[in-house]
Structure 1
């Protein structure tokens, strides 16, 4: 028990879970830690998001809002935001990505259910969250020029890059008012299958939504269908995009905006994964860069991305891009 964070057992005692068995879960790319706890036939998930590195209040705010609007966020059992502790419902072990690795025949059903859940979320009024504004979009895409380009030994036109994105994203901003709740990391690693059927259909639970903003409905669709962590065939991507459009009727410009946000998100992810390698010494993320880069190239081919595509042509040599981003040094 010496390796457990200080205050863990005190929190569980106060929450009425004294003497619970505690099973740490391996972490990923943040300071958050998770533990499965069990006591007297009950089970729950314990999140430790310690200040000042983490602030659990946004997670709590979004979880409460989602639950109040009929979305399947985990129930909050007990909380102490000031100390970074949240005891919440345990959604089990069937993460969508892992389940699909073992049940590839359920892919269409699982993605269809995720699309339907997203369409349902987008019928709700947007939550009381900050806007996904131009400054946020620009700050995110700048991660590519801040981290990836130096790692490739490239000196690039950063002002021209920002100007190209400004021109490309400006029309989209007009179409994200009043907007929808954007979870921002809606993909197969953050969707839990709650008793999945053999065909992948069935109820799904949401996790890792603490960074929610109010923005464009295409963003989470891109996050799901251009997944950095698993291959999604372009045929499935198009079928699920068509399914969403049929359910939500988002308007004539939606596919162009989907490409805009696909390129925006993928540029950000390339930058983030490079930063995880260079700054945080987490080299495993580099293996995902070719998948992300390939999706970004498809997005850049859309006419709506012409200003950004011209910048890429002028600043990142074709031999690097043809190798799906090249080998980061």
Structure 2
């Protein structure tokens, strides 16, 4: 993977960036590769990001379409400088190095302000007509949670009731499906490693939706507004305190006017989607280890289980909680956070 992909320099020349310096960036959990491009000839911009998302494993077209929709609607996705999606190449604006996660580590007093800004983006999305994207429907929810019984349970040598699993999830998620219409644009991987800090935050105050750049949004669907909030506040990769989660949930509810029965319904859906997303992540992280040889994700699983246990405690998750108690013993989940041995 240290070799440059074939066609990279030709693409850069065609884009007007011939002869620029090329610095590979460590990859994520996908087949995509990223490179920082720098030129010192006085041209502006002097830096860019190059994404290589080669077919058939990847398709950059959704990234281009969702990014265009976000920018057209007042959000901050990278500008596109040049593209050849059929070959997997996209040259974009460089948002810099300040991911929200590392920025907060260096500026801990700005944590609340950073999260308020990130939540403000979601409250604005909830008031924006959804984009022309596919629905986040029951079939997608069930396919995603199925990763847990497909990968995690075999890895733990557990023989489980598959039919009961899907029946329990269908029962728990049906009220959520009924409540989400017409839905909102859901970015689906909205967390502190996919939010870029573009301007300083004020301590404890939101800085406006343009202060943070959005990346890794190519899988956007039209779904429930609680999903991205769960993704942000039950972050698998960064420890978010239960107090901060509660404060930001209250902040979101205030921004969206969710009080009384509507607020209770939203919190129930938040728990449903938290459990759904966390079950999916346990399955994905196990697959990354078992299939793709990436053991570093195993260390994140205990945090995911801890959040999922909180979600399962909500009365709206009772059918799924009963299935977990019968098929994945609580002592196993609590012994080491359900981490794959």
The interval holding the TM-score normalised by the smaller chain is over 0.9
The 5-angstrom pairing of residues 150-161 of structure 1 reads: 150-161=154-165
Alpha-carbon contact 1:294-1:324 (below 8 Å) kept: no
Question: Could you say what the CA RMSD is over the residues aligned between the two structures, in angstroms?
Answer: 1.3
> Does residue 225 of the first structure (1) align with residue 229 of the second (2)?
no
- On the 8 A contact 2:301/2:339 being kept in 1, the answer is no
Residue 137 of structure 1, aligned match among 125, 128, 141: 141
Residue equivalent to 1:321: 333
Q: What corresponds to 2:312 in structure 1?
A: 300
Write out aligned runs for 1:175-324 (5 A): 175-197=179-201, 199=203, 202=207, 203-250=211-258, 251-252=262-263, 253-324=265-336
- Cα distance, 1:176 vs structure 2: 1.2
Q: How many angstroms apart in 2 are the aligned matches of 1:258 and 1:3?
A: 43
Mean alpha-carbon deviation: is it higher for 12-21 or for 135-144?
Answer: 12-21
Q: CA deviation at 1:319?
A: 1.2
The residue aligned with 2:14 is 14
Is the CA contact (8 Å cut-off) linking 1:34 and 1:48 kept in structure 2? Answer: yes
1:83 partnered with 2:87: yes
Name which of structure 1's ranges 198-207 and 11-20 shifts more when overlaid on structure 2: 198-207
Deviation at residue 31 of structure 1 after TM alignment: 1.0
Counterpart Cα distance in 2 of 1:324 and 1:107? 29
**Cα distance between partner residues in 1 of 2:246 and 2:337:** 24
Deviates more, 1:102-111 or 1:84-93: 102-111
Superposed CA offset, 1:23-49 (max 9, x none): 111112111111111223411111100
In the alignment, the residues of structure 2 paired with residue 188 and residue 327 of structure 1 have an alpha-carbon distance, to the nearest angstrom, of 22
| C-alpha distance after superposition, 1:75-125 (max 9, x if no partner) | 111111011100100000000011112222211110011001111122110
Q: Which residue does the alignment assign to 1:165?
A: 169
What secondary structure sits across from 1:192 in the alignment? strand
Which residue is 1:94 aligned to? 98
**Cα offset, 1:195, TM superposition:** 2.5
Whether contact under 8 Å (2:299, 2:339) holds in the other structure is no
TM-score normalised over the length of structure 2: 0.94
> Number of matched residues?
328
Structure 1 match to 2:112: 108
Matches within 5 A, 1:16-95: 16-39=16-39, 40-41=41-42, 42-95=46-99
Contact 2:303–2:337 (8 Å) recurs in 1: no
SS of the counterpart of 1:309? Answer: helix
Q: Per-residue deviation at 1:325?
A: 3.4
Q: What are structure 1's unaligned runs of at least 5 residues? A: none
The CA deviation at 1:72 is 0.4
Alpha carbons of structure 1 residues 117 and 318: separation in structure 2 relative to 1, 3 Å: same
**C-alpha separation in 1, matches of 2:146 and 2:6:** 37
